[in-house]
Structure 1
Amino acid sequence: MALSLTPLAGRKGLVVGIANEHSIAAGCAAAFREAGADLAVTYLNEKARRFVEPVATALGADLFLPLDVADDAQLDAVFAAIAAKWGKLDFLLHSIAYCRKEDLHGRVVDTSRDGFAEAMDISVHSLLRMAKRAEPLMADGGSILTVSYYGAEKVVDNYNVMGPVKAALESCVRYLAAELGPQGIRVNALSPGPLMTRAASGIAHFDALLDEARARAPERQVVTIEDVGAMALYYVSDAARRVTGNVAYIDAGINVMA
């Protein structure tokens, strides 16, 4: 089978989680667009809009919409706009995570009940809410991607409560893959190594984590958003048509090291 230079030509995708041009979601969106996809892009609120809009403009996004995933009305509005514009959805990228600063910087055992529930709701259950709304738009099959981190599997210093949260996210990927597979909808997770994004900047001693990653990785490199984008493109393309329920490491090999 010949490889197309635009394997996503005619495909329609929703990208949620761009904070600025340095975001993992921005790197993925750029790869999708270069491969020929038409995109819908969301932004959190008016404060975030000025950072996201230049990215959406550069991508030539067909739709640019507000989305706070805690607001079901906004979720409904985004998917209604997609249905009205395209009548279908081929792929979805969920690249959002949140926890309160005091919980991110504190011990897991000290996490507040409300803080834990909020982190799980925004970072994990939002994937389920999106998948539920995406399912009827993926009548011909589709691909759902989310973004995890190695801290879901092993204890990573200073990752704290986000470790259990990402572990729950990866479990949801497996269950969604099983439930949606009969409809031809594939669900996978990307697990990049540490890279400097707005979200990562909130992790204590993140510069030290980057240095350690570079030193320990078999390739002696840290990854870029372009590296993650290349893997994301594979997962939403037909090349991965029989791949679902996976967690894909893009970390220069760190995950294989003891």
Structure 2
Amino acid sequence: MGVLEGKTAVVTGSSRGIGAATAKILAGEGAAVVINYRQKAPRANKVVSEIEAAGGRAVAVGGDLTNADDVEALAQAAVEAFGSLDLLVLNASGGMESGLGEDYALRLNRDAQVAMLKAAAERMKPGSRVVFVTSHQAHFIDTVPTMDAYEPVARSKNAGEKALRELIPWLEEKGITFVVVSGDMIEGTITATLLDRAAPGAIEARREAAGKLYSVEEFAAEVAKMATADVETGHTEYVGGAGHFQG
């Protein structure tokens, strides 16, 4: 019996990268997992197939988190497919993509996170948990400057974390805990790729400063651990390289 046997998890932005890797780990621990994607259904279905092939349970649900109807549908899909919603991993983020509007980073990294948490919390029972995934560059943006190309994303994710933390008392009334996982730049993610394209050498410089950057799989394992970690609500788990930011 896995530690998440009988539980259902929604992992936003889980058709690839950290989200997909986290979903697979959670499924391996017994959770039924809702794989969320914005556009790439085949990629999400592949993640589902891999989870099922390993003996787990999963379903792919499309949805744009900046769309209120899609957010409600995603939360409800967990209940309809597996009977409950016990864990929400707020992994989806963005803002470096082109053609989605100047305010897209804030709409996705703050407004959509709050909407998704609220939709999920209304369906969660006491004992459930919400895990918000962020970066050191965002978490510490008020005290440590980041790369110019990443700053709009960092500021919007920081705004998102603050907005989510304001909901902790409301979540506590429902018996739901809230945990943040903050990581350094992650090797092989779309953000790292876009950042290196916008500022060539940025990832190599960060790698040298940190000594090591986590891989997608390594960071996903840390995110998955926080699904059941015995920590207080509001806890921030720092994964790799945080000393530079904490001074």
TM range, smaller chain:
0.7 to 0.9
1:5-52 CA-partner distances (Å, limit 9, x unpaired): 7211221101111242xx11122112212211111111112xx12222
Report how far residue 142 of structure 1 moved. 0.9
Structure 2 gaps, min length 5 = none
Equivalent AA in structure 2 for residue 203 of structure 1? L
CA distance in 1, matches of 2:133, 2:152: 16
How many residue pairs are counted as aligned between the two chains? 236
Answer yes or no: is 1:24 the counterpart of 2:18: yes
* Mapping 1:78-89, distance limit 5 Å: 78-89=74-85
1:51-100 CA-partner distances (Å, limit 9, x unpaired): 22212211234321111112222222222222222332110111122325
CA distance in 2, matches of 1:36, 1:101: 34
Answer yes or no: is 1:177 the counterpart of 2:171: no
TM-score by length of 2: 0.85
Equivalent AA in structure 1 for residue 84 of structure 2? K
Report how far residue 246 of structure 1 moved. 2.6
CA distance in 2, matches of 1:256, 1:97: 21
Match of 1:150 in 2: 136
1:204-229 CA-partner distances (Å, limit 9, x unpaired): 45662332233222xx3211222222
Match of 1:111 in 2: none
Distance 1:254 1:58, change over 3 A: farther
* Mapping 1:210-221, distance limit 5 Å: 210-217=203-210, 220-221=211-212
Equivalent AA in structure 1 for residue 193 of structure 2? S
Equivalent AA in structure 2 for residue 30 of structure 1? K
* Mapping 1:40-51, distance limit 5 Å: 40-45=34-39, 48-51=40-43
* Mapping 1:7-86, distance limit 5 Å: 7-20=3-16, 23-45=17-39, 48-60=40-52, 61-86=57-82
* Mapping 1:131-150, distance limit 5 Å: 131-150=117-136
1:109-139 CA-partner distances (Å, limit 9, x unpaired): xxxxx613x3211111111111111113212
**1:223–1:252 CA contact under 8 A, matched in 2:** no
RMSD: 2.4
Matched residue SS, 1:190: strand
Distance 1:18 1:83, change over 3 A: closer
CA distance in 2, matches of 1:52, 1:84: 19
CA distance in 2, matches of 1:254, 1:225: 20
CA distance in 1, matches of 2:72, 2:171: 20
**1:30–1:229 CA contact under 8 A, matched in 2:** no
Report how far residue 244 of structure 1 moved. 1.7
Match of 1:164 in 2: 155
